Amino acid sequence: MRVHRSVALGVLLSLAMGMSAQADLITGSLPLAGIGVTQNGADLSVSDEIYTSFELTTSAGTGDLAGIGQLVVFFNSDIYLDQASTGFGYSFWNDNWGKFTANSGTIVQRTADFLDLFMEGLFTPSANGGLKDFDATPATVRVSINQSGGSLSQGVTLDVAPVPEPSSLALLGIGSTVGLIAVGRRRWKKA
């Protein structure tokens, strides 16, 4: 019986050691505002393209993004509302900090004077910028656009929160299994 447990423990430990360690992922959020926002229709309920000249941070970021200060320019692509399944074709970037690329999106709410979009994607740090020591990290972006008369305003929030990779979850499972074996072993000895 002891040999079986020793072998099982050895197998679990070798699996745990063989798993790759995850590099640093980014956490934090960043508020931005769209500058020069226009559309190709009369109002937000009928437009299928939104154009923005660039985006500007409205205050410093939080967490790992705190180094990105206020009034930092990010260039962006246009938003194509008929391409939700691919993230509306949306991305924004700054050569010193990195790039967010959407890969899926949802229209949360859409009326003649309001448009709310939610996108999931990846934030990839610039190779030589302030976040160069971090890995690309899953991220979400919320874009809200208001229309009053013929004027549009746009708010954008980037939220970068890493999701545990499968090997981290496997390590958690292995640790839980070893812990349960140890508890069961103690109870068995007492009986």
Please report the pLDDT score of residue 163 as a whole number: 60
Contact (CB, 8 A) for 136 and 12 = no
Average pLDDT over residues 42-65: 97
Please report the pLDDT score of residue 20 as a whole number: 47
Distance CA 47, CA 36 (A): 16
Distance CA 61, CA 73 (A): 13
Q: Which residue has the higher pLDDT, 3 or 110?
A: 110
Q: Which residue has the higher pLDDT, 182 or 76?
A: 76
Average pLDDT over residues 51-78: 96
pLDDT digits (tens, 9 = 90+) for 145-181: 999 999 999 999 999 986 655 555 555 566 666 666 7
Residue 40's pLDDT band (cuts 50, 70, 90) = very high
Compute the mean pLDDT over every residue in the chain, rounded to the nearest whole number: 86
Distance CA 123, CA 99 (A): 6
C-alpha distance from residue 172 to each of 15, 63, 115, 166 (Å): 12, 25, 41, 10
Residues with Cβ within 8 Å of 119's Cβ and at least 6 positions away in sequence, in order, are: 87, 88, 90, 102, 104, 105, 106, 140, 141, 142, 143
Average pLDDT over residues 40-48: 97
Please report the pLDDT score of residue 132 as a whole number: 92
pLDDT digits (tens, 9 = 90+) for 82-135: 999 999 999 999 999 999 999 999 999 999 999 999 999 999 999 998 999 999
Residues facing residue 54 across a β-bridge: 35
Residue 43's pLDDT band (cuts 50, 70, 90) = very high
HSE, CB side, 13 Å, CA atoms: give it for residue 49. Answer: 4
Contact (CB, 8 A) for 179 and 65 = no
| Model confidence at 138: pLDDT above 70 | yes
Residue 131: Cβ-neighbour burial (10 angstroms; 0-12, 13-18, 19+): buried
| Model confidence at 15: pLDDT above 80 | no
